[in-house]
Structure 1
Amino acid sequence: MTRPLRVVFICTQNKLRSLTAEVLFRDTAGWEVASAGTNRDALTPLTRDVLEWADAAVCMQKRHRDVVRGQFRGALPDDRIVTLGIPDDYEFMASELVTLLLDRVPARLAALSPRPDQAT
């Protein structure tokens, strides 16, 4: 039996978009999820350990992907960093945000499986 796909959702403060995604996908069969923010004062700040734990990083915007690639170079392969293009225009669990996440996340992660180089 393979372990769940580990997904970390990333935004700036980890209070609205990435936290909504974590809550929304928390009970998705075959996934283990977490969320973090790129700012030092985020609710849960992004760390190298979180990225090394993850099989995929789902970034809300290009600038979050750039932080992952720059500050945490090598923690996660580029082909496992997904950018959704969701701006910071939504409140926590806003219906429009939920719709965007449901439309974009499963499709972008469908082809991924757990990284073979990680321990179970």
Structure 2
Amino acid sequence: MRVLFVCGRNRWRSPTAETVFATFPGVETASAGLANDAEVALDEELVRWAELIFVMEKSQRERLQRRFGTALGKTPLICLDIPDKYPLMDPALIKLLEARVPPYLRRAK
């Protein structure tokens, strides 16, 4: 399963999620950001690549749907409701991700 994690600038939350779930059985991960200055900017190719997309905030879900609605198609888009207050690989962020993401990965198998 190809899983894409999206946040604002692809500096803290989505790269952390990408790393945490990179070794999850049967999962291939990528991450990107919606901002123009994102480390890896989200584009249509990445959206089409993904079989499951996680965003960190509701506003990001709305932006992604507006910008990439056609490319998104029927790809599930899940909001994790994780605020932009955690640095890269913060243990509290990892704990949140490990609590919120796996149920969706199991469901999608």
Shorter-chain TM-score tier: over 0.9
Q: Does 1:34 align with 2:30?
A: yes
Q: Does 1:86 align with 2:82?
A: yes
Q: How many equivalent residue pairs? A: 109
State the TM-score, normalized to the length of structure 1: 0.86
Instruction: Give the unaligned 5+ runs of structure 1.
Output: 114-120
Q: Does 1:103 align with 2:96?
A: no
Change (3 A) 1:68 1:78: farther
**Letter aligned with residue 49 of structure 1:** E
| Segments of 4+ moved more than 6 angstroms | none
CA RMSD of aligned residues (A): 1.2
Deviations 1:55-92, CA, capped at 9 Å, x for gaps: 01100111111111100012224560010000001000
Residue 106 of structure 1, CA deviation: 0.6
Which of the numbers 1, 6, 27 marks the counterpart of 2:2? 6
Aligned-residue sequence identity (percent) comes to 38
- Counterpart CA distance in 2 for 1:109 and 1:25 is 10
- Counterpart CA distance in 1 for 2:74 and 2:10 is 22
Instruction: Give the unaligned 5+ runs of structure 2.
Output: none
Instruction: Tell me the SS of whatever aligns to 1:57.
Output: strand
Bigger share in helix = 2
Which of the numbers 8, 11, 15 marks the counterpart of 2:11? 15
Instruction: Tell me the SS of whatever aligns to 2:69.
Output: coil
State the TM-score, normalized to the length of structure 2: 0.95
Counterpart contact for 2:51–2:75, Cα < 8 Å = no
Q: Does 1:63 align with 2:47?
A: no
Q: Which has the larger radius of gyration?
A: 1
